[in-house]
């Protein structure tokens, strides 16, 4: 049975630098084209945490080295840059994989703006990790030197955090829908989209933020009237008591159990929590919609109900 699927692709599927990314997208493309080969319509939203941090750090070093020649690069522009170079590698890998399997479909990346509310309280409380993992000493140094906000990230090290406002709507939704309707595989809302808000007249102004790609994917899926939202991450199933001897993997989450586990603090902020929340928001947005959380390489089995955690409304 053919479904319209929006995939939220985790940063682990893209690597941490350019050489890693070029290798990683080939593996990623194979898993995604498995779904296309099964007859599904696919739209891909990807993360950019390591990449956007790398870009902004590089731009900051340029300004520091020659302040008369270079000017600071806004975070929204860094997000746009990351969309371009990740989309470039990803769409080419998808195209190559499809052609190798005899699938005649176009692949296109849409530079996507996502509207946010400038009054969103998230701007006062940065929570979204970007950039590479650091030691505590490195994090403290950047906190002092660059006025960064830093946090310890789920036992994996320290990372910079920036504002992560809720996505309100996809500016280029009509373009994305037209491409999907004409049998294209679309890469959109990269890095959660370029965060913008409306100002005077019809002007859209970039915001100093990074939107969580899982929430952006959920909004994109709703606006495209998708059947499935698939959130691909580093684990096969969502778990409670994660990392403890009595860890329990979950095959299925109802809205009631999901909300209970969220209230109990079972899911780590900045890690599994936004994935479960995004899956829940999509699955409960209309009858018949489902969300799946699983590993990249398990996507095909997951959509067939063989693995992963299914979130149903």
List 149's β-bridge partners, or say none. 161
User: 15, 131, 213, 308: which is the annotated catalytic residue?
Assistant: 213
198 is catalytic: no
57 is catalytic: no
DSSP summary character for residue 222: H
Q: Which domains does the chain have, with CATH numbers?
A: 4-113+167-312 (3.40.1160.10)
DSSP summary character for residue 190: G
List 8's β-bridge partners, or say none. 45, 231
- Residue 83: how many other CB atoms lie within 10 Å: 27
Share of the chain above pLDDT 90, in %: 68
Positive/negative CA dihedral, 96, 215, 299, 131:
positive
Token representation of residue 258: 């999901």
Residue 212, exposed/middle/buried by CB under 10 A (0-12, 13-18, 19+)? Answer: buried
Confidence of residue 267 (pLDDT cuts 50, 70, 90): very high
Are residues 214 and 275 in contact, defined by beta-carbon separation less than 8 angstroms? yes
131 is catalytic: no
User: 15, 48, 128, 190: which is the annotated catalytic residue?
Assistant: 128
290 is catalytic: no
192 is catalytic: no
Residue-wise pLDDT for 80-101, tens only, equals: 999 999 999 999 999 999 999 9
On the question of pLDDT at 1 being above 80, the answer is no
User: 275, 290, 302, 308: which is the annotated catalytic residue?
Assistant: 275
Residue-wise pLDDT for 58-70, tens only, equals: 887 888 888 888 8
User: 12, 92, 157, 206: which is the annotated catalytic residue?
Assistant: 12
Residue-wise pLDDT for 103-160, tens only, equals: 999 999 999 999 999 999 999 888 877 777 788 888 888 788 777 888 887 777 888 8
């Amino acid at each position: 049975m053919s479904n319209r699927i929006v995939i939220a692709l985790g940063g682990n599927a893209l690597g941490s630098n350019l050489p890693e990314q070029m290798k990683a997208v080939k593996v990623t493309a194979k898993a995604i084209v498995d779904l296309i080969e099964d007859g599904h319509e696919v739209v891909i939203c990807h993360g950019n945490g390591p990449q956007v941090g790398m870009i902004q750090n590089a731009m900051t070093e340029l300004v520091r080295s020659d302040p008369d020649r270079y000017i600071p690069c806004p975070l929204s522009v860094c997000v746009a840059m990351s969309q371009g170079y990740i989309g470039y590698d990803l769409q080419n890998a998808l195209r190559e994989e499809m052609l190798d399997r005899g699938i005649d479909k176009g692949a296109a990346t849409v530079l996507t703006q996502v509207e946010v509310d400038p009054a969103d309280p998230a701007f006062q409380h940065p929570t979204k990790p970007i950039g590479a993992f650091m030691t505590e000493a490195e994090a403290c140094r950047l906190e002092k030197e660059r006025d960064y906000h830093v946090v310890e990230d789920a036992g994996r090290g320290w990372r910079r955090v920036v504002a992560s406002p809720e996505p309100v709507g996809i500016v280029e939704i009509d373009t994305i829908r037209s491409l999907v309707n004409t049998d294209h595989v679309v890469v959109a809302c990269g890095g959660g989209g370029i965060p913008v808000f409306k100002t005077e007249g019809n002007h859209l102004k970039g915001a100093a933020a990074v939107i969580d790609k899982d929430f952006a994917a959920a909004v994109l899926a709703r606006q495209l009237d998708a059947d499935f939202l698939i959130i691909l991450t580093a684990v096969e199933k969502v778990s409670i008591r994660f990392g403890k001897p009595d860890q329990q993997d979950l095959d299925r989450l109802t809205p009631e159990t999901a909300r209970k586990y969220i209230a109990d603090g079972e899911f780590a902020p900045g890690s599994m929590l936004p994935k479960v929340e995004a899956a829940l928001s999509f699955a409960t947005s209309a009858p018949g919609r489902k969300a799946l959380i699983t590993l990249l390489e398990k996507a095909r089995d997951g959509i067939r109900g063989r693995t992963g955690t299914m979130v149903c409304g």
